[in-house]
Amino acid sequence: MVFNAKKDSFRWWISGFVFVVYGIVSLIIYLTEKDLRALLTLGSIWLLLSFFIVWLLPRTTRYTFLDDHLLCQCMGIKKRIYYNTFNKVLRSNGMYAGWKMSTAWKCLIVRYNKYDELLISPENEAEFIALFESKKAESVEA
């Protein structure tokens, strides 16, 4: 079963923050050097980053339950978590430092192995958790 990434306003906040920072830096450069090239360059970089953050990243992030593992994909990065290593899944408020394959502020923490964790954000969290628990139970029985 495939779960697409949840999309919320978090990605727009990131894009807006980058816009404000780039705007301030562009303004300082323009006021000191009177050159529009910095403004155009930083504006172009902001457009590319916004395209990446707002459109491309959420569309390429998905979580797939396969025969023996959970496959988490984001752009070209793939992470396999085998069912026999599952510990638990917890809800997070987004304030977390670690590996994050999540496109939303509120996400899930998948704990596996002894100390490994991965933040993910499936669209249907309740269904994901139920499937996670069933796969965990199946791996214990096997």
E strand or H helix at 120: strand 116-120
Judged by DSSP in three states, 49 sits in helix
Domain boundaries, the chain: 1-142
Across the beta sheet with 116-120, the strand order is 86-92, 107-112, 116-120, 100-101
Pick the CATH number of 1-142 from 3.40.190.10, 3.40.50.920, 3.40.50.12140, 2.30.29.30: 2.30.29.30
Q: Which tokens go with 141?
A: 């029985």
What pLDDT sits at residue 105? Answer: 84
pLDDT in tens, 20-38: 998 898 889 888 988 888 7
Beta-carbon contacts of 67 under 8 Å, excluding residues fewer than 6 positions away, are none
Write down the mean pLDDT value for the chain. 88
